[in-house]
A and B are shown apart, each in its own frame.
Chain A
Amino acid sequence: MDFNRLEILDLLEGYQRKEFSPTEVAQSLLTSIEKKDSEIRSFLQVRPDVTLDAARAVEKRSSEMQKLPLYGVPIAIKDNILVTGWQATAASKILKNYVAPFTAMCVERLESAGAVILGKTNLDEFAMGSSTENSGVAPTRNPWNTDRVPGGSSGGSAAAVAAGFAPASLGTDTGGSIRQPASLCGLVGVKPTYGRVSRFGLIAFASSLDQAGPLTRSVWDAARVLECMAGYGGKDATVSRSVVPKYTENLNESAFGTVRNLRVGVCTSWLEGVDPEVRASFEAAVEKLKELGMRPVEIELPNVKYALSTYYLVATSEASSNLARFDGVHYGYRTPNPKDLNDLYCSSRGEGFGPEVKLRIMLGTYALSAGYYDAYYGKANQVRRLIQQDFEAAFEKCDVIASPTSPTTAFKIGEKISDPLTMYLSDIFTLPANLAGIPGISVPAGVDSGKLPIGMQLMGRHFDESTLFQVAYCYERRRGALANPPWRSKSGAGA
């Protein structure tokens, strides 16, 4: 049996029919990781014994299968999310060998739904990047074309699912870190509404922007993972206490009725400068939405042009604060022979952090400094409110907003790494949702002439993931199967 290509829904049906067991699936996936991940480098840690033990434990509860919505589903976890006993390094030397003392709320929820942890995946160090080239360990490669990046920062999580190593993975999204790699790897990726998923157990990058979410091969799978991982857990003061809807309940024929007559907002001026093939795909996708009965409406987002500058002030400021704890004193990397306390700090941090992280800490420290705060951090928050207002106004006119997820398809490894500003532009379509706190989903919308996947992003109102899932689900059905994704290739690990 080829488990590499199976979606969550396929696994659940197979378990139901007793065609195979969670242990068999986990064992098979672990074997393909062992054989083929040396080329992709999507995983930073696998612990086959622990995973198989967990699979066996779930299997003993097969009589409760109906009550376990993720019964025996292996899930890969980005290495900036804590799982007790597993490493949590954020792909940084400064946390090398750090073992999580507790489990993130979202992972705890997945585990209690029957999920099995398959391993910890690679990322740009501390989730800072758009290509996974900033990993302090090694870059991850895109399973569609191994000369290309998988996107980032959740590149390891995206590559693991695209390569067929895992049916689903968790990523974190601060400015597009789930949606952009999902787009570049031909996957579905969801950045939930800020406050939908507990951040407890996420190694913080920018606390007011970070959200964890799923990467999967189908909309239904993403909805299933999110409905299990979301919700208040009492350990994060910014999480909403509102009930998490059962998103999958509406993902059937009834969705087509709901979607008909919904208004889809498109901001044409935003599309300038987008790769022509991406733009063509996006326009074709909007046509498909029309075929579903949706009405396109032109919307204005006058302040999104400031999103990039705003984001790089807010996110770096918060990061400079969040990363202050990595100082070599209580845990993590410490420089071997510090001269004094100041040297202990400077050398531990200097040697432990990579260049992109240092760059952002310096930017953020500057933006928060006395005398600059008002002009930078303060001003950025004012603009952030304007961007939020832009979306509020837009959602008066439409029910979802559609855009490309990324202005380009997967670029070559090394192509943008020396030019941070060009790299930052990868996220222009995804940053605004984080600044506004609204949910966004990326769904595959075809491939370019180089057979690289293109993604469409749909954004919705606060806590209206349901509508996003229904629109994405109907679009996915209308679109049909993707041509030759790596997880269906015979070799399993893709190209």
Chain B
Amino acid sequence: MKNPLEKYEVVIGLEVHAQLLTKSKMFSEAPNQFGANPNEMIGPVCSGQPGSLPIINQTAIDLGVRAGVALHCKIHEESVFARKHYFYPDLPKGYQISQYERPYCTGGYVEFALKDGSTRKINLVRIHFEEDAGKSTHASHGTLVDLNRAGVPLIEIVSEPEMRSSEEAGQYLRKLRSILRYANICDGNMEQGNFRCDANVSIRLHGAKEFGTRVELKNINSFRYVEKAIDYEVGRQADALEQGEKIRQETRGWNATKGVSEIMREKEMAHDYRYFPDPDLPPLVISPQLIQKITTEMPELPDAKRVRFIEEYQLSEYNADVLTNSQELADFYERVAKGSGNAKSAANWVMNELLGRLNAVGKEIDDTPVSAENLALLVKNVDSDKISGKIAKTVFDEMFASGKSPDAIIAEKGLVQISDPAALEAVVKKVIEASPSEVAGYKAGKTKLLGFFVGQVMKETKGQANPGLVNDLVKKHLDG
């Protein structure tokens, strides 16, 4: 179907698994650390040894509560851990400790902007705690199991099926990730699987009241793929409906290489997880005092920061939105703005020059070769007429390439703006003497020729002349 969106409405709900930034695992003292050799970061609890028992990691609970507060959820004073059973080699106990009927958070929402400037608010169903499973690697000689990830604390954030386009899904995820990163809950690294997303996608005719049959999409490990995978799935479902087929309730995996979703399992094969309250763990109690403490200690979150940037730095909505996208970027911008004393100019340099350049070479703000202090210095140099705006771009290029300070580059290359009238006067005289016909033309009333003389002076001075001063001097000599 050429454009399925004309006929069908898309319904998307997202389930996000976010690993919590704790030192140890959810239910044991084993370290929560990525990148170690296989099975080195494990203890008896991780490998499900008989006789081992889970003990709740309070730091994980604190981070979970922080997420609940940041996402405006109702945090329940009592919630219950439950066992979810299935057999798989990377699940050593034969069950995963999760929360089922009584999660610690319900409700809440994520609010974000779309490209057209409108805002959307997506409600959450719940957030619950669970432990991660290990990792299976299927090699030619068999399957290898690494339990380093087994027992890593997770929160699963489940949205209502309220998103209506892949763009909304993408923006929801970006905002959610940004909030979790701001509050130091999760590092948001999608490639390492620290922030994972499953999408429930269905379509229905515009105006229909009933939801269509939903398909669960798994293995989406980048923002780019979220939108691609959803668009592909919407197209696939629309094609199927157009051909008179029924959508089957199934789980599909996104194959990024082929750019298609592939069936993983059908509903008939769905597990009966036999959830029941974990008898090893008493109900989880989260006191109002703890919630109060965590609320008080909450760092500034993206929405609050955006509002502050608009007020404090007189930024446009759009600029404020971009600059608060991540904590690192916002911090970088604030250092440039404060260091230069020119918030507006700082915003332009960061957004138009620096981000554009970083984007072109595929780098993040963390990897910028230009420090905030140096960028602030560059802005100051322009504002104090030490260099012209045009020269500043040349200096920035060099800063981005070498990481040197603007002053060093200006000194090295002799780029300081010439603002000495005596020095410039000689050049102006030289230019006027060399162009008798243009002088005649100017005197005959072609005042537009003023630009010609200024241009020639700038050329003679390799662009270093103070343009305003040159203008004045040329006028003085021609008119005088």
Contact = CB atoms under 8 A, between A and B. Distances in A.
Nearest to A345: B87
A207 B280 contact: yes
Given A321-B85, A324-B93, A329 B145 contact: yes
B115 interface: no
A399 interface: no
B382 interface: no
B87 A235 contact: no
Contact of B48 (A88, A325, A368): A325
Contact of B54 (A90, A237, A341): A237
A368 B274 contact: yes
Given A102-B44, A321-B276, A238 B282 contact: yes
A408 interface: no
B314 interface: no
Contact of B51 (A82, A330, A345, A370): A82
Interface in B63-107: 83, 85, 87, 89, 92-95
Interface residues of A, number: 43
Contacts of A236: 53, 55, 280
B272 interface: yes
Interface in A16-63: none
Given A321-B95, A325-B92, A370 B50 contact: no
Interface stretch (A131-139, A196-204, A483-491): A196-204
Contact of A88 (B47, B50, B276): B50
The interface residues of chain A, by DSSP majority, are classed as loop
B285 to A, nearest CB: 12
A369 interface: yes
A235 B281 CA distance: 11
Main secondary structure on chain B at its contact with chain A? loop
Contacts of B272: 369-370
A99 to B, nearest CB: 11
B409 to A, nearest CB: 60
A235 B53 contact: yes
Contacts of A90: 50
B279 interface: yes
B287 interface: no
B53 A200 contact: yes
A98 interface: yes
Contact of B50 (A206, A207, A325, A327): A325
B98 to A, nearest CB: 13
A7 interface: no
B56 interface: yes
Nearest to B83: A321
A236 B28 CA distance: 11
A203 B51 contact: yes
Interface in A292-337: 317-318, 320-321, 324-327, 329-331
B255 interface: no
A263 to B, nearest CB: 32
A296 to B, nearest CB: 36
Contacts of A321: 83, 85, 94-95, 274, 276
Q: Could you say which of B51, B55, B275, B280 has the most chain A C-beta atoms within 10 Å of its C-beta?
A: B51
A98 B50 contact: yes
B292 interface: no
A303 B87 CA distance: 37
B295 interface: no
A354 B148 CA distance: 33
Nearest to A203: B50
B276 A327 contact: no
A327 B55 contact: no
A330 B42 CA distance: 13
Contacts of B51: 81-82, 88, 100, 102, 104, 200-204
A100 B51 CA distance: 9
Interface string A233-272: 0111110000000000000000000000000000000000
Interface of B: 44, 47-56, 83, 85, 87, 89, 92-95, 143, 145, 272, 274-276, 279-282
10 contacts: A88-B50, A102-B51, A204-B50, A204-B51, A235-B53, A237-B56, A327-B94, A368-B274, A368-B275, A368-B276
Q: Which 6 A-B pairs have the closest CB atoms?
A: A324-B94, A207-B279, A208-B279, A368-B274, A203-B50, A325-B48
Interface of A: 81-82, 88, 90, 95, 98, 100-102, 104, 199-204, 206-208, 234-238, 317-318, 320-321, 324-327, 329-331, 341, 345, 365, 368-370, 373, 377
Given A202-B51, A321-B94, A325-B50, 11 more contacts: A88-B50, A102-B52, A200-B52, A238-B282, A320-B274, A321-B83, A321-B274, A324-B94, A324-B95, A325-B93, A368-B274
